[in-house]
Structure 1
Amino acid sequence: MSARPIVMSTISGRPTRLVDPVPDEVDFRDLADTLARIRRFGGAARKEVSVAQHSLIAADCAPDILRPWVLLHDAHEWRMTDIPTPVVKALSAIADEEFEKAGYESGYILRSAIKSMKWRHDCAIHAAARLPMPTPEQRVMIKRADFIALATERRDFCDRQHFRWEAEIEAATPLRRPQRLMSSEEAADRLYDEFRHWLPRFVELRRSA
């Protein structure tokens, strides 16, 4: 007898599988609406910028040919929420300590599990979008756009920081134009409009109409 799947409700009440996600359960309207309600920086920004707006800012930091992938680069947070990088590092450090107490060598399993869950959901979302997973070269460019967006958000939405962040973030040059904070509703609508314009799934639907 198979174990019952671990499921989580979407914003519209639909169930989605968390361990083995499938493309048929991906709803891009739900995805945009949810990302617009998830706050960046673990909610520790003076202005409550959303993951949806971050995705839009990051997309503006990349060439159009890369835009579909950048729009989806944090889409897994639809199911996993935004776990700030320092929190992942802290959890990994605590896991290392706990594993050592139990007689194991390393707590890398936690980091691996988070990475694997992101990958599984990314694969399902990209399949639903009819978009191949990014190549290693594309991943480098996506990460660059992500850092530029992060540097821009730190300048425009956060208080002055009293410590230096990771070197890649400090080295990133923010967008020249200051960003205006969007409401959750505006960010959701704009992100969904971008999905419909750029993702192959919707392009194919327009062509067949």
Structure 2
Amino acid sequence: MMLTNILNFPVNLDKFKDVEVPSLFQTYSGKQIDLNNINPDDLIIEDIAEALSRLPRFVGQAKSEISVGEHSLHVCYESPEELKLEGLMDDTSEYLLNDIAKPIKNLLPDYQHYEHLLMTALAEKFKFQYPKPASIKDADIRVVKYEWHQYKINQRPSADIPAPELIRDIFLEQFYKYERK
């Protein structure tokens, strides 16, 4: 089968018929993660930063682009000094599980189960508090309201939208600044 003239994408798809697609999550760095048997050695901060910097908030339905990574940085900045890491890592499970809209997430008990398993493993690996402290929940709520107004219902100039690579780099910079050894 030939695809032609779709975004300059003429490809003979027959040559890909034998490509094996893993049944596990495969991260940017190539780690394969089984949510039923999470290996902490497979949880790599660079994979998290890469994914969150590219993952859209509000299931891509905002008037302005905003990534989960940018949201994480906002929560980090709004968090008390001693909980900056918790603010930054607040939504890290979404690097594999995606940013599911709250109305849908509430209907998916299996999603919530796997989110809890993954967040527990991430918290143990990266030494942050989970479940999140009340002050982080408060910071997250304040940030969501700000982002709803600034990005969901209003359009910011495209020149003000940070590149994913910048968000990734700042996320990693903040992680290394606040990580607990």
Residues in 1 aligned to 2:129 and 2:72: alpha-carbon distance in whole angstroms: 18
Aligned to 1:199: 179
Can you list the C-alpha shifts for 1:174-196, whole angstroms capped at 9, x where unaligned?
Answer: xxxxxx53221111110011111
Query: How far apart are the structure 2 equivalents of 1:67 and 1:181?
Result: 23
Residue pair 1:39, 1:48 contacting (<8 A) in 2 also: yes
**Which of 70, 91, 98 is 1:74 aligned to?**
91
Native 8 Å contact 1:20 1:120 kept in 2: no
Q: How does 1:18-97 map to 2 (within 5 A)?
A: 18-89=35-106, 92=107
Cα deviations across residues 74-96 of structure 1 (Å, max 9, x unaligned)? 0000110100102224xx2xxxx
Please tell me the root mean square deviation across aligned C-alpha atoms, in Å: 1.8
What does 1:1-209 align with in structure 2 at a 5 Å threshold?
Answer: 7-89=24-106, 92=107, 110-111=108-109, 113-134=110-131, 138=133, 140-159=134-153, 180-200=160-180, 204=181
Paired with 1:18 and 1:182, the residues of 2 have a C-alpha distance of 31
| Structure 2 CA distance for aligned equivalents of residues 196 and 124 of structure 1 | 19
Find the counterpart in structure 1 of residue 6 from structure 2.
Answer: none
* CA–CA distance in structure 1, aligned partners of residues 99 and 145 of structure 2: 17
Q: Is the 8 A contact 2:53 2:164 kept in 1?
A: yes
List alignment gaps of at least 5 residues for structure 1. 93-109, 161-179, 205-209
TM superposition score normalised by structure 2:
0.79
Count the aligned residue pairs.
155
Structure 2 unmatched runs, 5+: 1-21, 155-159
Amino acid corresponding to residue 198 of structure 1 in structure 2: Y
Structure 1, 9-18 or 45-54: larger mean CA deviation: 9-18
**Does the CA-based 8 Å contact 1:38-1:82 persist in structure 2?**
yes
Give the whole-Å Cα distance in 2 for the aligned partners of 1:155 and 1:22: 39
What does residue 175 of structure 1 align with?
Answer: none
Residue type at the aligned position of 2:51: T
CA–CA distance in structure 2, aligned partners of residues 195 and 46 of structure 1: 29
Q: CA deviation at 1:152?
A: 1.1
Query: TM-score, normalised on structure 1?
Result: 0.69
Question: d(CA) in 1 for partners of 2:129 and 2:138?
Answer: 20
- Paired with 2:130 and 2:149, the residues of 1 have a C-alpha distance of 31
